[in-house]
Amino acid sequence: MARVVVDVMLKPEILDPQGQAVQRALPRLGFEGIADVRQGKRFELEVEGPVDDAALARINELAETFLANTVIEDFTVRVEELEEETATA
Amino acid sequence: MSSDIHSSAPRTPAPPQTPAPPQASRLDTTEHAAATPDTELPWAELGLKEDEYARVREILGRRPTGAELAMYSVMWSEHCSYKSSKAHLRQFGEKAPHSDALLVGIGENAGVVDIGQGYAVTFKVESHNHPSYVEPYQGAATGVGGIVRDIIAMGARPVAVVDPLRFGAPEHPDTRRVVSGVVAGIGGYGNCLGLPNIGGEVVFDSCYQGNPLVNAGAIGVMRHEDIHLAKAAGTGNKVILYGARTGGDGIGGASILASETFEDSSGKPAKRPAVQVGDPFQEKLLIECTLEAFAERLVVGIQDLGAAGLSCATSELASNGSGGMRVELDDVPLRDSTLSPEEILMSESQERMCAVVEPSKVERFLAICEKWDVTATVVGEVTDGDRLEIYWHGEKIVDVDPRTVAHEGPVYQRPYARPSWQDALQADDAGKLPRPVDGKELREQVLRLVASPNQADKSWITSQYDHLVQGNTVLAQREDAGMIRVDEETNLGVALATDGNGRYAKLDPYTGAQLALSEAYRNVAATGAEPLAITDCLNFGSPEDPDVMWQFVEAIRGLADGCRQLGTPVTGGNVSLYNQTGETAVHPTPVVGVLGVIDDVTRRTPIAFAQEGQLLYLLGDTREELGGSAWSQVVHDHLGGMPPAVDLERERLLGEILVSASRDGMIDAAHDLSDGGLVQAVVESCLKGGKGARLVVPDGIDPFVLLFSESQGRAVVAVPRSEEVRFNDMCGARGLPVTRIGVVDGEEVELQGQFSIPLSELRTAHRETIPALFG
């Protein structure tokens, strides 16, 4: 059992109104020195069975077709081993 | 629910195709360009044809710089230059009827119409078709944003939006992606802006499968003295860019997205989908900030940044003014500091505007922008020359006559010819299709008609739009036209209806365009408002196809002739070409928006049959006209024959009767008859009012034809018994045929001797289709 994390971010050239709203709010709240803010989404998928190449291919496919809107977003997939699972393995 | 919009099949964007400077190490200045005449530039990749590039070289007397090429390529694209349509669009001016109401005509950001009491109204419909297929949510959202900026650029406060939409076959899996995204995008942007969405249409047809039509319209209101035109006059005046920062979005969108198909059938990599993301809250600030600057008389000229971004705004402002313009591109506030000057000029970042302000008023202008938290920067000034000069890092990278960029682009006389298949299509008469033989079959077909996706209730879609915000909405969706109160003291108001029937236009584009005009005109009159002027959005396939070009030419001719006859000038509009998938064009789809004025919105006529005992009259003549009808589509999946005949004099007479009847309180409800015929109108009016109707078949007419024919120039009205004589007398005196067809009564729609259907059964059939498909 393992956790796969999919991070979805708007592509760099795409406007991010939410990130800009956060950035504009920062100096108002006294937080100086932040040049830019981009806001994204993080999905944590608990995977049944081994995270082998086939499973990762499947996750890549679901990320590409469902989690991310690849017209305007990029995504990354990475495996995060869960501690208790690795202990019993 | 927004997850639906993300389920699209992935597209793999090709690497960006922005024009790189010929020598990366060296800035491509005008001087450098003059010294290196043989340097190759990617003009073809930017959508220019060989002769167009040669013309650019001829104008400049040297090769263009990369930045100049960027400007010419976007401004000479079909989308910005109207190069295929210009020669024909002139008819709208040449044939324009005289109208005292027209304050500003074609050519400005939007036309302006006098509605009396010192008020003027500006309105326009534009297309955002291709972007809405690539990314439905953002494409539709930025479509709303773009048309709203056109309105504020005229100095008007936007008061309402409308959205005429065409999608592919309802059961096709991709339609759900597009519908969900487009509807959410329109709602998301319009609702955040706080603008009521009061009308439009939703039509499904498989011809729009790979190419939905997402048209967006807006209405703005101002006082006469507040009209503003886009021009840069007065040497020394400052050019101020304000609104969102400029980013890499939408680069090349104007020339690439809107003008050519983005999937290349020859296997070359697809052109980069240049998706723009909208920020409605920024736009709201832009509205308030702009109107405040106008109110203080701080602005000499103004232009919104839409397609072609800064290239368009600077060249149009400069060429509409008297002098030249000098722009320091380094001063443009950027979201992405790595952008090249070419990219800055081509960027289509949303929510930006460009103003020309006298030097003494710049400080105040910037203070207003700061108050609204809007970034504003002086990026240039008006010069006394006649050149548009743009500098980057202190060096001149653009030196052009702005008129050659903005107004003197190529004009094509595209060949056109009546398609070889047109005769066969028109010969395939819908009149020979099998008809219902008895009351039982009639009943069954009525239910099928009102439940079909095109005729079904669209509340699932329109309820996602806020139609009441601002508190001035008098009529909205499901009524014949949207209506907005303009003055809360006098109750002066305006009505707007948009219509277009691609099936009719396919059968005969000349007639089809006039039918779109007729229907929108009739819809406005049915609410009690007097039609004043029109806008149009002409959606067609590739102008390089002579068949399509013929459809386009015919439609313009039809519309211009129709407007002259009805006395309603075209105030402006939009042409969208290349709406096709591969070789297959969409149906020719001229969408016409008619604006009407009503002196007292409290006398508006709704469609609902709400009072039992009122008499139902059918106005106009019913002939056997089934070509292109909803019945032929729903029951037989057929498209052939001739569309219904147009009689614009009759439309005008009908309109006068409907307005008079409203003014004198003779009718309590009116519904125009269009696609779906009488039965569709009666069912809608009954369901809206929650009352049934008992109908009789008048002598000499076939029940089937009565119910389903789509003869024009007709409406059904509900007349209180006390007004019956007066109403009949008026119609008789003015020569409008009028036939009593029944009475508002009970809980059923009954056609005597044929069938009856309980309202509950009709309601279920009419209302469940769209939620079942997309809910």
Checking if the pLDDT of B15 tops 50, the result is no
Q: Give residue-wise pLDDT tens across range B438-480.
A: 999 999 999 999 999 999 999 999 999 999 999 999 999 889 9
- List B757's β-bridge partners, or say none: B749
Task: Outline where DSSP puts E strands in B487-646.
Answer: 493-499, 530-539, 570-576, 580-581, 584-585, 589-598, 615-619
* Residue A21 is assigned to a structural domain of this protein: no
Checking if the pLDDT of B524 tops 60, the result is yes
Checking if the pLDDT of A69 tops 70, the result is yes
Question: What is the residue whose two structure tokens read 């074609």?
Answer: B106
Given this model, what pLDDT does residue B170 score?
96
Secondary structure class of B721 (helix, strand, coil): helix
Q: Taken in order B384, B385, B386, B392, is the CA torsion positive or negative?
A: negative
Q: Give chain B's domain count.
A: 1
Backbone angles phi, psi at B159, to 5 degrees: -120, -15
Contacts of residue B414, defined as CB under 8 A and 6 or more positions apart, other chains included, come to B84, B543, B544, B546, B549
- The percent of residues in chain B predicted with pLDDT above 70, rounded, is 93
Question: What is the residue whose two structure tokens read 């020339």?
Answer: B255
Q: Give residue-wise pLDDT tens across range B267-281.
A: 333 334 467 889 999
> B241: closest CA among B328, B135, B359, B308?
B328
Q: Could you say which of B32, B88, B128, B467 is catalytic?
A: B128
The two tokens of residue B462 are: 């329109």
Contacts of residue B489, defined as CB under 8 A and 6 or more positions apart, other chains included, come to none
Percentages of chain B per state (helix, strand, coil), in multiples of 5: 40, 20, 40
The two tokens of residue B525 are: 């009159």
Given this model, what pLDDT does residue B267 score?
37
B543, B577 Cβ separation under 8 angstroms: yes
Q: Residue B228 and residue B224: Cα distance in Å, rounded? A: 10
Q: Is any Cβ of chain A less than 8 angstroms from the Cβ of B277?
A: yes
- The percent of residues in chain B predicted with pLDDT above 90, rounded, is 72
Secondary structure class of B566 (helix, strand, coil): helix
Q: Give residue-wise pLDDT tens across range B629-651.
A: 999 999 999 999 999 999 999 99
- List B399's β-bridge partners, or say none: B389
The shortest C-alpha distance from A69 to chain B (Å) reads 5
> Which range in A15-19, B348-352, B582-586, B725-729 is most confidently predicted, on average pLDDT?
B725-729
Mutate to test the interface with A, among B2, B3, B6, B134 (most CBs of A within 10 A): B6
Q: How far is CA A85 from CA A3, B676, B686, in A?
A: 10, 64, 65
| Residue B79 annotated as catalytic | yes
Q: Give residue-wise pLDDT tens across range B270-325.
A: 334 467 889 999 999 999 999 999 999 999 888 889 888 888 888 888 888 777 99
| Residue B128 annotated as catalytic | yes
Q: Is any Cβ of chain A less than 8 angstroms from the Cβ of B2?
A: no
Task: Check A15 against B247: CB less than 8 A apart.
Answer: yes
> B682: closest CA among B646, B718, B722, B655?
B718
Residue B262 with chain A: CB contacts under 8 Å: none
B386 is in an annotated binding site: no
Given this model, what pLDDT does residue B230 score?
64
Half-sphere exposure of residue B616: CA atoms within 13 angstroms, side-chain side? 34
Q: Residue B487 and residue B597: Cα distance in Å, rounded? A: 12
B280-295 helix and B136-153 helix, angle to the nearest 10 degrees: 0
Q: Give chain A's domain count.
A: 1
* Averaged confidence pLDDT in chain B: 90
Question: What is the residue whose two structure tokens read 């008129």?
Answer: B403
Q: Which chain B residue's Cα is nearest to A13? A: B248
Q: Residue B145 and residue B277: Cα distance in Å, rounded? A: 10
Structural domain that includes position A71: 2-14+40-88
Sheet containing strand B388-392, edge to edge, reads B301-304, B352-357, B238-243, B376-383, B324-328, B388-392, B395-400
> Is the model's pTM score more than 0.80?
yes
Checking if the pLDDT of B420 tops 90, the result is yes
Sheet containing strand B738-744, edge to edge, reads B669-672, B715-719, B615-619, B738-744, B693-695, B748-751, B755-758
β pairing state of B213-223 and B157-167: antiparallel
Q: Residue B121 and residue B136: Cα distance in Å, rounded? A: 30
Q: Residue B222 and residue B155: Cα distance in Å, rounded? A: 7
Question: What is the residue whose two structure tokens read 């007709």?
Answer: B714
Residue B305 with chain A: CB contacts under 8 Å: none
What one-letter code names the amino acid at B104? Answer: V
| C-alpha dihedral, B175 to B176 to B177 to B178, nearest 10° | 50
The shortest C-alpha distance from A89 to chain B (Å) reads 36
With vertex at residue B472, the alpha carbon angle to CA B466 and CA B474, rounded to the nearest 5 degrees, is 85
In our burial notation (b when 16+ CB lie closer than 10 A, e otherwise), range B364-397 reads: ebbebbeebebebbbbbbbbeeebbbbbbeeebb
Q: Is any Cβ of chain A less than 8 angstroms from the Cβ of B15?
A: no
Give the closest of A13, A21, A72 to B247, CB-based. Answer: A13
Name the pLDDT band for B40 (thresholds 50, 70, 90). confident
Neighbours of B479 (CB within 10 A): 24
Residue B249 with chain A: CB contacts under 8 Å: 13-15
* Residue B346 is assigned to a structural domain of this protein: no
> What mean pLDDT comes out for the span B432-437?
95
Give the closest of B6, B249, B282 to A68, CB-based. Answer: B6
Task: Check B335 against A71: CB less than 8 A apart.
Answer: no
Secondary structure class of B532 (helix, strand, coil): strand
Q: Is any Cβ of chain A less than 8 angstroms from the Cβ of B247?
A: yes
* Residue B133 is assigned to a structural domain of this protein: no
Query: At B613, which CATH number?
Result: 3.90.650.10
Contacts of residue B420, defined as CB under 8 A and 6 or more positions apart, other chains included, come to none
Neighbours of B223 (CB within 10 A): 12
* Residue B30 is assigned to a structural domain of this protein: no
Q: What is the CA radius of gyration of chain B?
A: 26
Structural domain that includes position B720: 605-775
What one-letter code names the amino acid at B91? Answer: Q
Task: Outline where DSSP puts E strands in B305-414.
Answer: 324-328, 352-357, 376-383, 388-392, 395-400
Query: At A83, which CATH number?
Result: 3.30.1280.10
Neighbours of B561 (CB within 10 A): 18
* Residue A35 is assigned to a structural domain of this protein: no
Q: What is the CA radius of gyration of chain A?
A: 17
Given this model, what pLDDT does residue B9 score?
35
Residue B551, burial from CB neighbour count under 10 angstroms (0-12, 13-18, 19+): buried
Task: Check B281 against A20: CB less than 8 A apart.
Answer: no
Secondary structure class of A43 (helix, strand, coil): strand
B383, B389 Cβ separation under 8 angstroms: yes
B472, B485 Cβ separation under 8 angstroms: yes
Mutate to test the interface with B, among A15, A39, A61 (most CBs of B within 10 A): A15
The shortest C-alpha distance from B209 to chain A (Å) reads 19
What one-letter code names the amino acid at B583? Answer: E
* Residue A61 is assigned to a structural domain of this protein: yes
Least confident of B56-70, B223-237, B356-370, B590-604: B223-237
